[in-house]
Amino acid sequence: MKLGNLAAVAAAGAALGLLGACSSSSSGNSAGGVSDLRAGTWLSGDLHLHSDHSSDAADNPIAELIPEAESRGMGFFVITDHDNHVDGHITTWDDPAYRSDTMVMLYGVEYTTARGHANLLGTQPFDDLPMYALRDRSDDAAGQAIADAAHAQGLHLSVNHPLNGDPWEFGFDMAIDSVEIWNAMYRFPTNNDDAVALWDSMLNSGRRLAARGGSDCHHQHTYEALVFNVGNPTTWVYASAPKAGAVLAALKAGNSSISYAPTAERVVLAADTDRDGGYETLMGDGARASGQPVDFRVTIDGARPLAAYAITVIRNGEVFLQKTVVGEDHLDFQDTPAAAARSYYRVEVRGTTPEAPAAGAVLGFYGNIIALTNPLYFNYD
Ligand SMILES: [Zn+2]
Ligand SMILES: [Zn+2]
């Protein structure tokens, strides 16, 4: 994905209407929120970015990109340059600027083929050439061959922007580890609702598949930065430790949610499946349904005073509950998941987006979507 010219951006914004909000308040993102979770740490990051090692991001040097991410308080980071721009000979990691004292660094590329894009994410530099050799395959087994080659190197394979101008045409009947349901701004240049609907259909089919975000940011010094930048959106993971392997494990499990900006609210869905008063089951986790009621809690970490949060709980692809809370940082609800069937619950939170770059919010590109969570699963194993 790459943005077109500014006129197209502005025209699309006008067509979408003026939906944004422009207050200047900020919010913290302290750990905490739901009690009784296993030991771990919340880390924010961006999982889809391009630097000057991509030919379409030549003005985006790593030496500027990484400090930008650090200044936004990110806990992990990866740059995913287009592998086709270097014929699979990845140079990003050899750049001496590819390091950070404060962020957990992952190693990634955007596997950029004529039949779609996917991110390969690893804990250390890897060999892209076995993947690159598969890029032109179009047979029915191509998708699984790609997944097998990624997993042979221990890589996380994550399909990017599955439905936009570079849709994923290898199919989904393959072992992908996550899918990018929120690329760049929620409403522009892609309407990410379509990717979310695709994801819901896969979840409803009985598949447990984690979702993530990615800014797909290409530039820091052009009009692009007026509407979005590093961390729009941000993916939060609850990692067992601040280490690359733990970040990828949390990402694959779906112990994560997506927020529109790195300094925005973080939304957490957890449940007390054994009704002992502690919310020990986190989004991404699976539990057995006993036929007894389950207590759920949606927490908005970093909630702004007096802000209104429109919370939607989706159960099995359908709206289960909609409620707006004002001046509250959580919503409790109860349901009895069917004992003899699969169920999943996930959360969307809407409201104002004051932490978004102002022009992007005013143009309606953020769609007033604050955050989405991964599902909490019952009977999926
Ligand atoms: Zn792409
Ligand atoms: Zn990209």
pLDDT in tens, 231-261: 999 999 999 999 999 999 999 999 999 999 9
Return the ∠ at Cα 309 (arms to 303 and 313), rounded to 5°: 115
Assigned token pair, 71: 């200044």
For the chain, which residues make up each domain, given as ranges?
26-378
Kindly state the average pLDDT of the residues 19-37: 43
36: left (phi over 0), alpha (psi -120 to 50) or beta: left
Q: How far apart are CA 311 and CA 104, in angstroms?
A: 31
**Cα-to-centroid distance, 16 and ligand 2 (Å):** 24
Ion ligand 1, residues whose Cβ is below 5 A away: 117, 160
What ligand has the least distance to the C-alpha of 109? Answer: 2
Work out the burial of residue 65: count CB atoms within 10 Å of its CB; fewer than 13 is exposed, 13-18 middle, 19 or more buried: buried
**Cα-to-centroid distance, 81 and ligand 2 (Å):** 7
Please tell me the least confidently modeled range out of 9-18, 69-78, 164-173: 9-18
**Cα-to-centroid distance, 117 and ligand 1 (Å):** 5
**Cα-to-centroid distance, 31 and ligand 2 (Å):** 30
CATH number, span 26-378? 3.20.20.140
**Cα-to-centroid distance, 227 and ligand 2 (Å):** 17
Kindly state the average pLDDT of the residues 157-161: 98
**Cα-to-centroid distance, 360 and ligand 1 (Å):** 20
What ligand has the least distance to the C-alpha of 51? Answer: 2
**Cα-to-centroid distance, 329 and ligand 2 (Å):** 34
Res. 13: pLDDT tops 80: no
Longest dimension (CA), the chain: 57
Q: How far apart are CA 34 and CA 295, in angstroms?
A: 13
**Cα-to-centroid distance, 118 and ligand 1 (Å):** 7
Res. 213: pLDDT tops 60: yes
The residue that leads in pLDDT, 6 or 262, is 262
Assigned token pair, 9: 């951006």
Q: Do residues 362 and 18 lie in contact, with contact meaning Cβ atoms separated by under 8 Å?
A: yes
Kindly state the average pLDDT of the residues 214-228: 92
What b-and-e string marks burial along 185-219, b requiring 16 or more CB atoms within 10 Å of the CB?
Answer: bbbbbbebeebbebbbeebeeeebbbbbbbbbbbb
Q: Give pTM, 2 decimals.
A: 0.91
Contacts of 8 (CB under 8 A, 6+ apart): none
**Cα-to-centroid distance, 115 and ligand 1 (Å):** 11
**Cα-to-centroid distance, 273 and ligand 1 (Å):** 39
